[in-house]
């Protein structure tokens, strides 16, 4: 894939698919299901009350979720990277950007909730990619 820098904007060129479309689709559909399972497995927030009635955070749930989410995300990135002759495709960039935070966090619960939203956005990005898979040109 050719990269060209114009006015500090990187333009990603055309790359070629190296993995059969059906195999890629199957791998990504499994990741969509796994991502949804991860999302459903964990509660909506991690706030708890300590023995004095103060709000605290369930760090174990947060840790477990982020561990599962990170492993899932890395596997998805590997699917994108290994499916094209150039591992840095616009599709990988779209996936990464869907899970990227821009802003300021106030507390651990907000980080947790935002991460769950990023997971959903990345699932939506994968679904969008699968919808476009038939128009990707093979060499």
Residues, the chain = 139
| pTM across the whole model | 0.82
**φ, ψ (nearest 5 deg) of residue 107:** -155, 175
pLDDT at position 2 is 45
What pLDDT, on the 0 to 100 scale, is given for residue 17? 80
DSSP state of 137: P
Q: What is the DSSP string of 34-79?
A: HHHHHHHHS-S--EEE-TTS-EEE-HHHHHHHHHHHHHHHHHHHHH
Provide the pLDDT for residue 122: 97
Return d(Cα 8, Cα 104) in angstroms, integer. Answer: 25
**Kind and range of the H or E run holding 121:** helix 108-132
How does pLDDT run along the chain (139 residues), one tens digit per residue? 444 444 444 445 567 788 888 999 999 999 999 999 999 999 988 887 777 877 778 889 999 999 999 999 999 999 999 998 888 888 999 999 998 776 677 788 888 999 999 999 999 999 999 999 888 766 6
H/E segment holding residue 9: strand 9-12
Q: How far apart are CA 68 and CA 41, in angstroms?
A: 10
């Amino acid at each position: 894939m050719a990269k060209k820098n114009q006015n500090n904007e990187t333009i990603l060129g055309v790359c070629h698919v190296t993995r059969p479309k059906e195999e890629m689709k199957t791998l990504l559909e499994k990741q969509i299901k796994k991502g949804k399972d991860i999302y459903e497995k964990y509660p909506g927030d991690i706030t708890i009350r300590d023995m004095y009635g103060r709000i605290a955070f369930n760090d174990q749930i947060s840790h477990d979720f982020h561990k599962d989410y990170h492993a899932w995300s890395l596997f998805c990135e590997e699917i994108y990277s290994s499916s094209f002759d150039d591992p840095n495709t616009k599709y990988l960039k779209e996936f990464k950007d869907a899970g990227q935070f821009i802003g300021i966090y106030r507390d651990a619960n907000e980080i947790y909730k935002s991460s769950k939203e990023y997971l959903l956005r990345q699932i939506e990005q994968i679904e969008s990619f699968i919808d476009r898979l038939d128009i990707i040109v093979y060499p």
